[in-house]
Structure 1
Amino acid sequence: MTARRTTTLAGALAVLVLGTSALLAPPATAHGPGGKPGPGHGPVHTIDAERFARQVTTRGVWRHLEELQRIADRNDGNRAALTEGYEASARYVERTLQRAGYTTTRDPFTFGLEVVDAASLALGTGETYEVDQMLYAPSSPEGGVTAPGSLPTDTTGCTADSWAGVEVTGTIAVVSRGVCAFADKAVAAEAAGAVGVVVYNNVEELLFGTLGAEGLVSVPVAGMGQADGLAVVEAVAAGVTLTLDTRFHTEERESFNVVAETRAGRDDNVVMLGAHLDGVEEGPGMNDNGSGSAVLLEVAVQLAKQKKLNNTVRFAWWGAEELGLIGSTAYVDELAGQEGELDRIATYLNFDMVGSPNYIIGVYDADQSTYEAPVEVPEGSAQTEAVLTGWFDRTGQPWVDTEFSGRSDYQAFILNGVPASGLFTGADDIKTEEEVALFGGTAGIRHDPNYHTVGDDLSNVSREAIGIMAPAVAFATASLATDTSAINGVSGPGDQGHHHGPWKPGKGHGHGRGHEHGTLQRAS
């Protein structure tokens, strides 16, 4: 999962105080096939979704996770995009799918990768701290910006009032994360006269931030870790001069997604599932996102044994997600440029981090029953969510809403009007006492303490979480392979005389930009 750029997944658990939600619609399969096919249509093929859920086991998923861990171990400890570890991960997915009977496709994309030339904050006293240039922030001049520091009256620096009475002109503003968007802090500081802005985190990790759009400020803006930031605050208070140096250049790179789909099923009504295959350079990426990739792979293997389906099921293992959702966005952009291709996708389900050690059982809140989404939610998304929550309700498994924020690979789908939902066991949010009451674990620490670190290895993936999530993914897959009428009104296997053939990629397509520090580093 891409690193947090805005505050998401707040601790509100209102809908779950009741345990299960009687207000949510039942899963699609509770409605039966959804209607008889019309003239010229073949027979309806119904999968026993509950039986199929039992066929996707923790043991099966774990075998894939063990291989992904071995791949990381053999490739400098990671499976990051543009590395041999990613290539080996893709080959493993392809071989496994091909043995199961699928034809696999590599879907290439090109993008501009930001290669970092400088990322530091130096003190006049000699100390130097690591920073990260915020996405959409301009670079500093070569050698950086050297100036006195300034501190807002309220630490967070969100408004003009924060700088009232402070000498800001010609200084580098040093502010804390919190209360408002990073862009608000940067705009307020520049308006007060700052020539650079540093935002320090409210946790120990280096802060990877974004301004959200180009052109909001004309001064360099960077993030840094909490302890380093507090040390800089002390230095500024003592009158120490700062030098902020954040620069990058862009290089064109190419990566790829892995895509496969069932041979059976009407291909004008495609159910699509995805998980990103790449991790970060810092570690093996076994929860983020070996877990989602492995669950998806085992579901695909088991589904291949079903010779008759109403709807085609398409699986995608996305590339360069950790560089900014690049692979999935490029894929959707390409489909959007081909007449009718996006219309063929009935719904998209995303699985990014489903084995967190201090887990929650989270479902993307597509019906906005807990969190208002920051974008327009496509019609049919709430019904897609209901397939997942319906499974948990019928099995007595507590669950919580997680914000439908576009923080993972479903973003491009919903921005292009494709219904979506998905599952999530938590990343860097702190577990609450209310969540402990529902799921066990430890309050006061993160859902995944190893998020984006070397500790994200197989020993820190929760078998229990996998054991809950894998059957849920399987149930949703089988349900929607049978019937999507609750989502888009389409039921039955369709007119078998109208076959489009499976989607195939073009000769490559470009999109967006990633971000590289020295050798490789995520941008988001």
Structure 2
Amino acid sequence: MAHLNELQRIATATNGTRAFNTSGFNHTLDYVTNYLSANTNLKITKNMFSVSYFTLESNPVLLSSLNGKITNHTYSKNRFLAEFLEVTFSSSVNFSNFITLTAIPNASCSDADWLAAKPSATHRIALVKRGDCAVADKGILAAKYNVAGLLFYNDGKTSDRMLPTLERLGENNSLPALFLSFDLGEKLANAARNSSFTIAVRFVIPVAIENVIPVNNICADTPTGDPTQTILIGSHADSVPTGPDINDNGSGTAANLAFAVVLARLFRTSTYPKYKYRVWFCWRGAEEIGALGSNFHVTQARKSTILGERITDYLVNLNFDMLGSPNFKFGIYDGRTIRNNTPPSAIPGSVRISALFRDWFIRHELPWDFADIDGRGDYSSFLASGIAIGGLISGVDDIKSQEQRDRYDRLLGQGLGGLANVVHDPCYHKVCDTIQNINLFGYEKMVQAAAFVIESLARLPDLKSWLYPINEI
């Protein structure tokens, strides 16, 4: 709790936030660096990258015209009131005329989907449903087919996927885009598919790109272990601007720091055998605006020719993000849900890591749930490079079901399973994500499970073969 208390103190002293472009974020990195320097012999490195911060000059506008009837749709910074939200890294636009809408079939994740659109997406507004691949990937395909603009919408698969949500395109995106609720998206999609309807939209997105902002990643690696066989353990150190984010992701930041310090101390004793593999702990920036810190890390690794810093030197990336949700679940990233366009090399090891976490919870007679790997976290760039991943998550704004609550009650004790039909973290990305938002029992178990998996992987005699079995790739 000492690290979490310090992160809360930092946020309180810096206008209630630790967002990447604030003194709160810089003080967070200073705290991590100074604590590592004082308590370990790990080699600490800082790597700076630059980002263009996305902001709006004023609220966006979305108008639809259905058979000549014009509707002005509702924008609000409160997504529970909004029909649509902005998309980070959208370009500015002010369409003077209504532009025909076309609905892209299926998940819009393949060339076949875009080529099947009727009418053609070229020079039209493309309506694209969420799911199967990242919004940024859909944006790249949209640019390939020369769309005039993009309207994403939620897929409505579960009750927590009905509202518009904050998503992001790639930092180099040049298309205007908005994100709609499921209800509005379905209404427009049904009209676009009906040849008897005439459906068009007009929107205004006034984007202000501020000055380029320098951001740091911090990493610390063990002085022993083979640098060409590296276990990466990562967490993002930034919050959103609206709150201190002690759960998201002070909880991962603090756990990662505790792992690094404990391991460094154990390695300095004579009774604890050192690992065969190097362990590299990282605290990354700008995750909340598009996982930019991890993207930078992987991009640099792919270019590097320095021993120990090449992408080929990484065996696995373990990601810890949100470990202490108040209405918690013991969520395990499920390697079986990795997207089809992921390099096959990453899949067998990711599935095995999922099972390793699961077995720990079963052995300790604790409930557990698998969580989909949706490509939105710091792990996504590593997966895209063929690196096996694993991790834990205690729940975001998804809802704890009655079945889930009852199952947790049975294993943890009556009344300890949380609240049914309530989101796992009601303070997600809000000012109330403070030290009081952490469920200490759930957090402790997640940290213990993570420590077990780190130790288990590091003690395998041939981790590379375990993660990348030739007969399964």
* C-alpha distance 463-195 of structure 1, shift in aligned 2 (>3 A): same
Structure 2 match to 1:325: 291
Please tell me the residue identity of whatever aligns with 2:206: R
Q: Which amino acid aligns with 1:266?
A: D
Tell me if the contact between 2:60 and 2:206 (Cα under 8 Å) persists in the aligned partners: no
Q: CA deviation at 1:74?
A: 0.8
Runs of 5+ in structure 1 lacking a partner?
A: 1-61, 153-157, 165-169, 188-193, 233-240, 491-524
Kindly indicate whether residue 379 of structure 2 is the aligned counterpart of residue 402 of structure 1. Answer: no
Q: Would the alpha carbon gap of residues 183 and 292 (structure 1) be closer, same or farther in structure 2, given more than 3 Å must change?
A: closer
CA distance in 1, matches of 2:433, 2:379: 23
Could you list the structure 1 runs, at least 4 aligned residues long, displaced by more than 4 angstroms after superposition: 122-128, 135-138, 144-152, 158-164, 170-173, 175-187, 194-206, 210-215, 224-230, 370-374
Partner residue in 1 for 2:418: 441
Could you tell me the TM-score, scaled by structure 2's length?
Answer: 0.72
Which residue pairs with 1:485 in the alignment?
462
Aligned equivalents of 1:119, 1:220: Cα separation in 2: 14
Give the corresponding residue for 1:66. Answer: 5
Taking a change above 3 Å as real, the CA distance of residues 450 and 343 of structure 1, as seen in their structure-2 partners, is same
- 1:61-96 CA-partner distances (Å, limit 9, x unpaired): x11111111111111111000110000111111121
Whether 1:248 and 2:207 are equivalent positions in the alignment is yes
CA distance in 2, matches of 1:161, 1:418: 33
Q: Quick one: which of 109, 112, 123 aligns to 2:52?
A: 112
Which structure: larger Rg? 1
Distance (Å, rounded) in 1 between the aligned partners of 2:357 and 2:460: 14
CA distance in structure 2 between the partners assigned to 1:321 and 1:88 by the alignment: 17
Aligned to 1:58: none
Name 2:332's counterpart in structure 1.
363
Query: Do the aligned residues in 2 keep the contact of 1:145 with 1:195 (CA within 8 Å)?
Result: no
SS of the residue aligned with 2:207? strand
- Give, in angstroms, the shift of residue 249 of structure 1: 4.8
Inter-CA distance 249–398: structure 2 relative to 1 (3 Å threshold): same
Q: Deviations over 1:214-271 (max 9, x none)?
A: 88xx9843236799999x9xxxxxxxx9973203254422101111112233333221
Amino acid at match of 2:179: G
Q: What are the Cα deviations for residues 122-155 of structure 1, in whole angstroms up to 9, with x where unaligned? A: 78999973464335654313xx546599999xxx
* Partner-residue secondary structure (3-state), 2:391: strand
Q: Please report how far the alpha carbon of residue 485 of structure 1 lies from its aligned counterpart in structure 2 after TM superposition.
A: 1.9
Q: C-alpha separation between the residues in 1 aligned to 2:254 and 2:351? A: 26
In the TM superposition, residue 328 of structure 1 has moved relative to its aligned partner by 1.0
Q: How many residues align?
A: 409
Letter in 1 for 2:274: L
Q: 1:223 is paired with a residue of what secondary structure?
A: strand
Instruction: Describe how 1:488-503 pairs up with structure 2 within 5 A.
Output: 488=465
- Bigger fraction of residues in helix: 2
Matched, 1:472 2:441: no
Q: How big is the alpha-carbon RMSD for the aligned residues of Structure 1 and Structure 2?
A: 4.4
- Is contact 1:359-1:425 (8 Å) kept? yes
The answer to which of 344-353 and 129-138 deviates more is 129-138
Contact 2:287 2:293 in 1 (8 A): yes
Q: Give TM-score scaled by structure 1 length.
A: 0.65
1: CA distance between counterparts of 2:456 and 2:137? 44
Whether the 8 Å contact between 1:147 and 1:172 is mirrored in structure 2 is no
Shift of residue 314, structure 1, vs aligned partner: 1.1
SS of corresponding position for 2:329: coil
The residue number in structure 2 matching 1:314 is 280
Deviations 1:385-441 (A, max 9, x none): 333223223222222221123221111111112221111111122222232133322
Q: Which has the higher contact order (CA 8 A, sep 6+)?
A: 1
Partner AA of 2:16 in structure 1: G
Which residue of 1 is the match for residue 237 of structure 2? 277
The alpha-carbon deviation at position 482 of structure 1 amounts to 2.7
Q: 1:450 aligns with which of 400, 407, 427?
A: 427
